[in-house]
Amino acid sequence: MTRQRITRARLFACTAAILAVIGSSLVAQGGFGQGGRGGGAPQGDPAAAPTPRLANGHPDLTGSWGGGGWSFTGSGAPGATVGGMFRRCTPFQSKNCMEWTNQSEDWPFMSTARLDMRVPVYKPKHWDKMIEMDQWTNRDDPVMTCLPLGIPRQGPPRRIFATDTDITFLYGAGVDGAGGYAEHRMVAIDGKPHDPRRAANYTYMGYTVGRWEGDTLVLDSIGFSDETWLGRGGYFHSDQMRVVEKFTRTGNVLLYQVTVEDPEVLVEPWVMPDRRLTLAPNNTIIPERGSCTESEHTEVATQYRH
Amino acid sequence: MCERRTLATGVIALCVAMSPMMSQLARGQAAQGQGASAPQAPPRGGGAPAPDAGGRAGGAPQGRAGGRGGGGGGGRGDAGAFTPEAGAKDLKSVLFNWAWHMGMLRSGAESELIKTLDYHAAGGTMQVNGQPCTLTKYRIQANYQVPGYRVQIACTRANKQTYSNVETLSGDYAWDEDIPGAELVAGEGKATARQVALEERRIRLWASPHGAVKAAIAAAAGMHPLKSFGQNPGVLLDTQAKAGVQPLTTLTWQKEKTVEKAVLTFPIPDVPGATATATLVNDLPESVVVTHGADKTEFIYGKWADWNNPLFKIDALYPGTMVERKNGNVVRSVNTKVTEIGQIYVIMPVPESVKKAGK
């Protein structure tokens, strides 16, 4: 019965992954939308295209952006060959073994976030807590309780609308291994510092202020809820987390750089692997967030994990 | 409940039906480097993450086994990228079967994907300064991709004196800690450089149950285990053979009464002159013997089983008993309580004081 429960959860996740891949593939093929503002459809070296600029002279980040990888560390484990979800049964597995149930066992080995070595360095006193949270990831991962992934787990935005004074991000679902939901975020780009009173209000996406450093947009976020994770695998953070994001557009390439500071739990700031996004040839249509039920959350009785 | 069952059944059908498409799409996705706007996860699924589509996707299962041996239990019978013939005695088959029987080949590509270990002993003994010490704690945390490990040891001598230490290896450095992760946070713990133990600890890592098969495959492929990680052994060895790489792993067979044993020799990575000899019975090692200069260290493994906790049985095997003998004397003997072979958080950053002490 226990195995049946967790298998069902796996199957839901499997469906999410399938739909996410199909959706992404459609977008990659230009299946949605009409085209983005900026340097036009990418051909050849996308970085060589002219960089469109706002009226104030700063690069215009408007457009639909793709690539960069789904994992919270970016494109995943360099060099590893990770195949499909179904593995044939090993010689010592029982007669009841089936390929499609092996996916429950193999999930943790296939996740690029788990394979990747470019992970944050937690303080030693938190190591066992991390392991325990990871072991109970199907119960404790906030994505299992329908919470937003938050920043930075949400990954780079999939669509951006920029003006001289603010910027709007639309985020797609299916990140960090096909989890999460569509979200949005609006930030004033006025160079003002954080307002201490507002910083006391904790949110999933954080309280963000924006400024330009040359041609790089810098977003500085604090005021995070500690309910979200940095990524699958028990990568929790405290409410003292600060996230600094940098967006640098060169032609039709957008460099997305993130540094996570959390002196409560991390030994040192974590510089996430750079993500290189490219301008999609067509506008990305992002479906709104759908319904979500905490399916079987209280019934999780195994440590099979995603 | 009825609704759930119905939905689950539908999803099962969807997953099975779309599995090949999923793999193909994932490969295409990775190749194109496009990831814009995935659609919403289905209701009730909670948007649960699935495995990322990162990494290279080569070496995926192709073709069918066609009824050849070694195909395992039930299931649809799809072949992997490589299927040893039944009773095959060649090096590639023996190495593949070794990793396969340990449950180290994962995903549809059957790649060697065991990166970490968290091992807790139920008890045992070890020698401390030549005296036996009864273990009250023996925990190994290894990350083979660092490569390194941390062994937390606590034991009591016959005179009731206690001993504790944390033996640590990380890349080119070896040190001891009074607490795990000593000195990573200023003022917390003490790290003491132990470069003199570097080679001994490397031998312990690469002669360990996971380390040995990794080292043997890597040597057969003419590369370091850090590079051979994440690959299907059969595919990797074929690729290297086509490239003209000569394997450094050798294979012979011994017959004891009716039992045939595969005997493999391979170099211990990063320890010049150290050679391991692994003896396999039914595809699992009963011993790994390492000679290094005048020293001979024997690692004896027994009671192979899935020692992962009852809530996480993933068919990844490990020995239930491990004995280490150095030059004929038992220096460590531990019995397994539980393992965690599920790609968890195991790190061993080198403290600044250890770096300053030098390699």
Predicted local distance difference test score (pLDDT) of residue A90: 84
A interface test, pick of B12, B14, B19, B40 with most A CB neighbours within 10 Å: B40
Interface of A with B in 220-249 (CB under 8 A): 232-234
ipTM (interface pTM):
0.84
What single-letter DSSP state applies at residue A59?
B
d(Cα A30, Cα A18) in Å, to the nearest integer?
A: 18
d(Cα B290, Cα B203) in Å, to the nearest integer?
A: 8
Chain B residue at shortest CA distance from A75: B54
Structural contact between residues A294 and A144, judged by C-beta atoms closer than 8 angstroms = yes
- All residues of chain B having their beta carbon less than 8 Å from the beta carbon of residue A172 are 36-38
Q: Reply yes or no on whether the pLDDT at A59 is more than 60.
A: yes
Task: State the nearest Cα–Cα gap between B225 and chain A, in angstroms.
Answer: 12
Q: How many CB pairs under 8 A join A and B?
A: 428
Asked if the C-beta of A42 comes within 8 angstroms of chain B's C-beta atoms, the answer is: no
Q: Choose among A76, A97, A295: nearest Cβ to B46.
A: A295
Asked if the C-beta of A268 comes within 8 angstroms of chain B's C-beta atoms, the answer is: no
Asked if the C-beta of A153 comes within 8 angstroms of chain B's C-beta atoms, the answer is: no
What single-letter DSSP state applies at residue B145?
T
- All residues of chain B having their beta carbon less than 8 Å from the beta carbon of residue A284 are 36-37
Q: Looking at per-residue confidence, does A116 or A212 come out higher?
A: A212
Chain A residue at shortest CA distance from B81: A83
Structural contact between residues A70 and B35, judged by C-beta atoms closer than 8 angstroms = yes
Using the beta-carbon criterion (under 8 Å), do B49 and A177 form an inter-chain contact?
Answer: yes
Q: Which residues of A168-189 are buried (b: 16+ CB within 10 A; e: fewer)?
A: ebbbbbbbbbbbbbbbebebeb
Task: State the nearest Cα–Cα gap between A166 and chain B, in angstroms.
Answer: 22
d(Cα A132, Cα A234) in Å, to the nearest integer?
A: 8
- All residues of chain B having their beta carbon less than 8 Å from the beta carbon of residue A132 are none
**Which pLDDT tens digits describe chain B residue by residue (359 residues)?**
333 333 333 334 334 334 433 333 333 333 232 222 222 232 233 344 444 333 333 322 222 222 223 333 334 445 678 999 999 999 999 999 999 999 999 999 999 999 999 999 999 999 999 999 999 999 999 999 999 999 999 999 999 999 999 999 999 999 999 999 999 999 999 999 999 999 999 999 999 999 999 999 999 999 999 999 999 999 999 999 999 999 999 999 999 999 999 999 999 999 999 999 999 999 999 999 999 999 999 999 999 999 999 999 999 999 999 999 999 999 999 999 999 999 999 999 999 999 999 88
pLDDT band at A43 (very low <50, low <70, confident <90, very high): low
Asked if the C-beta of A1 comes within 8 angstroms of chain B's C-beta atoms, the answer is: no
Average pLDDT over residues A65-85: 74
Helices and strands (DSSP H and E) totals, chain B: 7, 15
Predicted local distance difference test score (pLDDT) of residue A22: 36
Using the beta-carbon criterion (under 8 Å), do A99 and B70 form an inter-chain contact?
Answer: no
Average pLDDT over residues A42-68: 91
Using the beta-carbon criterion (under 8 Å), do A177 and B50 form an inter-chain contact?
Answer: yes
Using the beta-carbon criterion (under 8 Å), do B51 and A88 form an inter-chain contact?
Answer: no
Using the beta-carbon criterion (under 8 Å), do B73 and A93 form an inter-chain contact?
Answer: yes
Chain B residue at shortest CA distance from A304: B312
Q: Reply yes or no on whether the pLDDT at A36 is more than 80.
A: no
Q: What does residue A151 show for φ and ψ, rounded to 5 degrees?
A: -95, 135
Q: Choose among B40, B71, B110: nearest Cβ to A289.
A: B40
Single-letter amino acid, residue A67: G
B interface test, pick of A5, A12, A130, A170 with most B CB neighbours within 10 Å: A12
Q: Choose among A19, A138, A233: nearest Cβ to B345.
A: A233
Predicted local distance difference test score (pLDDT) of residue A180: 83
Interface of A with B in 2-31 (CB under 8 A): 8-9, 11-25, 27-28
Predicted local distance difference test score (pLDDT) of residue A72: 65
B interface test, pick of A2, A3, A21 with most B CB neighbours within 10 Å: A21
Q: Strands, E, within A197-274: which ranges?
A: 207-213, 216-222, 229-231, 235-236, 242-250, 253-261, 270-271
- All residues of chain A having their beta carbon less than 8 Å from the beta carbon of residue B230 are 77, 79-82, 115
Using the beta-carbon criterion (under 8 Å), do B317 and A304 form an inter-chain contact?
Answer: no
Q: What's the mean per-residue pLDDT of chain A?
A: 83
Q: Looking at per-residue confidence, does A179 or B173 come out higher?
A: B173
Using the beta-carbon criterion (under 8 Å), do B15 and A100 form an inter-chain contact?
Answer: yes
Using the beta-carbon criterion (under 8 Å), do B42 and A79 form an inter-chain contact?
Answer: no
Element (H, E) at B271: none
Asked if the C-beta of A298 comes within 8 angstroms of chain B's C-beta atoms, the answer is: no
Task: State the nearest Cα–Cα gap between B112 and chain A, in angstroms.
Answer: 9
Alpha carbon separation from B269 to B23, B168, B205, B209, B295 (Å, rounded): 34, 17, 10, 15, 17
Chain A residue at shortest CA distance from B56: A81
Which tokens in the block code for residue A52?
Answer: 């469109």
Which tokens in the block code for residue B252?
Answer: 């012979």
